[in-house]
Structure 1
């Protein structure tokens, strides 16, 4: 479970509304598989951490974090970190409390 800041919550609600409208008619497909490390990164993004903080927490470089995020976005066919968090919550890949 992740804690979420008020500003992140506001952004998430805005993204949920936009994505919900865009995906209402899209057929449901199973969520792509992310690696264990990609899931770790995604959960930290959902907590509102930036790349530098994620890198410190996972003891990896910022470039490695960027690579993980790029891979997540490619696998999920999304364009932003926020979209990835919204998608992951909607698909029950992660929980935010």
Structure 2
């Protein structure tokens, strides 16, 4: 699998989360700087399959360690205080995955 050039600028270990934007992907690093890639989120999901990332919904991929709290109102709070709505069917899966890590 071809590695996107953006990963030369932003190492995988520095990526906090990825967000889909049409046919592009927005990569956010730990300082919340935004980088854009012409590769789709699906491509990054396949590339990062062995990394500690979880797909929260169709448009968001988050590093496990960057999740601060899973809220009761179907939301996930990230360490940069960003809220992401979580589909109901993903709540149980996310809680199980986070408990395996902790």
* TM-score scaled by length of structure 1: 0.30
Between Structure 1 and Structure 2, the one with more helix by share is 1
Q: Which structure has more RCO (C-alpha within 8 Å, separation ≥ 6)?
A: 1
* TM-score scaled by length of structure 2: 0.29
